[in-house]
Amino acid sequence: MLYLYVLAPILVGLLAYILRRNQSASFVLVLFQALDTLAVVGLFWQVRQTGTIVNNIGGWPDGMAITLYVDQLAAAMLLMTSILFLFFILFSYKQNYFTAQFFFLFMVLQGLLNGLFLTNDLFNIFVLLEVSTVTVSVLIMFNKEKQAIYDGMIYFFVNVIGSAFLLFGIGFIYKTFGLLDIRAIGQSMELVENSRAVIIPYALMFTTLSLKTAVMPLFSWLPKAHGTPSAPPVVSAFLSGLYIKIGVYLSIRFSDMFGSAIDMQNFFFVLGFFTSVIGFVLALSQKDIKLILAYHTVSQVGLIIVALNMDSEIAFWGGVYHIFNHALFKSALFLTAGLIYNVYGTRNVYEIRGVMRKMPLVGVATLFAILGITGAPFFNGSLSKYMIAHGTNSPVVAAMLNLINLGTITSFVKYSTMLFGRDTGKEANLDRYSQWSALGLGIMSLLTGVFGRQTIRLLFDYSLTVSQAEYFQKGVVYFVMIAAAVLLYRGPVKNSKLLNKAGAIEFTFNGTITAVALYLVGLLGCLLITV
């Protein structure tokens, strides 16, 4: 009964809405999320032991039925979602914005996410994406401030228009194959004699997914949505930690579906690299701590896309593991950024100092998350980046990966300056739920590094052998990069007028839609050349 993983969060959110803001509603949400996590662990273990589970709704045969499908990857994504929602609910437990309307919408999002991970039907994917877009837009605008309403509307219209390409692509697929089931279409795709017959639906569908994953040049909506000044911290953490991964997950599924007819790994590898570079460059140009983190979501998603398209098994699983790692440390960073802003009253990274002294738990959580995202030894990012680096023997690709990591480290050298120095701002008065939730995510960034091989084996049934000598060498390279990043930040980066100008660049709505259209034309051109 996989549909319960979609319906249950929505129904519990409705129950909590009826109970309104009181102790009973909060208790119901925490209790449900704890039980949901246990249920997902049970489902995950069942898949681990018995293999893929398929539920055909209505008893129709495979290929014709609306199918819910959970394999090892889908089960791991469900587990990641449930665990993070538990942390998010605990973080928000005592927050003023945790009202009846908020937690209803928030729980609806969990059900929609579960549906996107489970459904095997293309039209259901479109519907779930559309409903989640509306829900996310409302949460971005939740505090009803002028800037938040503007950012939420930009997010809404860009994504609704972008999703139209997916619908057109689904229409082409249905006209060609008479099917909507991803697995059945993948099997039928092997019978296609001329691959050019499916390049239009491929281009349309991957334009939507590229917009959802915020690749270059389609990323301009992301900092508006993720970095909205008045959006609750837990919304930003959800968007960067979880929701952005929907596009990546669906890219994996759709690539498998089209795999026998179209292979665009080289295109997306190059695109991922440039996305990652432009992401950290724009992050370096920002003063706002939420915008720094938002642009680094662009950069890290670019790195994941690079890994998934390196035509290497170890790099592929390194990219998948980085999805989970990024969910942990980026969620922690956005949650702590919200707490820091509440105490200091500013989001300017140059005006915040002494976080470690004033807010030690928040400071440690931030530091652990920084060590995770930069790939410090023994933290989770180091292992996923180790796997990605081992996916190639090319010195050019290795240099590209090192450039991405150097840019990431340099950005977080800048970001980490607020942890130290003489403390400023008002006296910290934070509830223990929010602090310990953020710290818990930071600690998980460490534990999934120390026990990384065991975690990878458990989540993906992939056995990883780590050479101690090579891992030590990577550690030495990391500390060399730290030294280089400090020099870069204190020298050309901190005083760069060009970076300051880059930070002021802002795409208009018309510019974003034009970029989407040009991207579609460019992708079609590449397909005509390569297929």
Contacts of 340 (CB under 8 A, 6+ apart): 289, 352, 355, 359, 362, 366, 418
Per-residue H/E/C for 443-509: HHHHHHHHCHHHHHHHHHCCCCCCCHHHHHHHHHHHHHHHHHHHHHHHHHHCCCHHHHHHHCCCCCH
Please tell me the predicted confidence (pLDDT) of residue 447.
Answer: 93
Q: What is the pLDDT of residue 17?
A: 80
User: Is 531 in a helix, a strand, or coil?
Assistant: coil
Report pLDDT for 490. Answer: 83
> For position 143, what pLDDT does the model report?
73
- Cα 347 to Cα 293: distance, rounded to the nearest angstrom: 12
With CA atoms as reference, report the closest residue to 410 among 358, 478, 344, 475.
478
Checking 274-278 for CB contacts under 8 A at 24+ apart, the result is 274/216, 274/302, 275/214, 275/215, 275/216, 275/219, 275/299, 275/301, 275/302, 275/305, 276/300, 276/301, 276/302, 276/303, 276/306, 276/404, 276/407, 277/302, 277/403, 277/404, 277/407, 278/216, 278/219
Secondary structure class of 64 (helix, strand, coil): coil
pLDDT of residue 425: 57
Residue 241 is given by DSSP the state: I
CB 209 within 8 A of CB 254: yes
Distance (Å, whole) CA 61 – CA 407? 51
pLDDT (0 to 100) of residue 102: 82
Q: How far apart are CA 378 and CA 145, in angstroms?
A: 42
In sequence order, the 6+-apart residues with CB closer than 8 A to the CB of 64 are: 181
Q: Report the pLDDT value the prediction gives residue 428, as an integer from 0 to 100.
A: 63
- Ranges of each domain in the chain: 1-120, 145-251+496-531, 264-490
- Euclidean distance between CA atoms 41 and 270, whole angstroms: 37
> Which residues are CB-contacts of 198 (< 8 A; sequence separation ≥ 6)?
172, 173, 176, 189, 192, 258, 261, 262
Q: Is 110 helix (H, G, I), strand (E, B) or coil?
A: helix
> Kind and range of the H or E element at 70?
strand 67-70
Q: What is the largest CA-CA distance in the chain?
A: 69
Total-model pTM:
0.93
CA-CA distances (angstroms) from residue 528 to 184, 237, 523, 525? 25, 39, 9, 5
Per-residue model confidence as pLDDT tens for the chain (531 residues): 788 888 999 998 888 788 776 666 777 888 889 999 999 999 999 999 888 888 777 777 776 778 888 999 999 999 999 999 999 988 887 777 777 788 888 889 999 999 999 998 899 999 999 999 998 888 888 777 777 787 778 888 888 888 899 999 999 999 988 888 898 898 888 888 888 889 999 999 999 999 999 888 888 878 877 777 777 888 888 888 888 999 999 999 999 999 888 889 999 999 999 999 999 888 888 888 988 999 989 999 999 999 999 988 999 999 999 999 999 999 999 999 988 988 888 888 888 888 888 888 999 999 999 999 998 998 998 999 999 988 888 899 989 999 999 999 999 999 998 988 776 656 667 778 888 899 999 999 999 999 989 999 999 988 888 878 888 888 888 899 899 888 888 877 777 667 666 666 666 777 788 888 899 999 999 998 887
pLDDT of residue 166: 93
Predicted pLDDT of residue 392: 86
DSSP3 helix / strand / coil % (the chain, rounded to 5): 75, 0, 20
Question: Smallest Cα–Cα separation from 352: which of 369, 338, 371?
Answer: 338
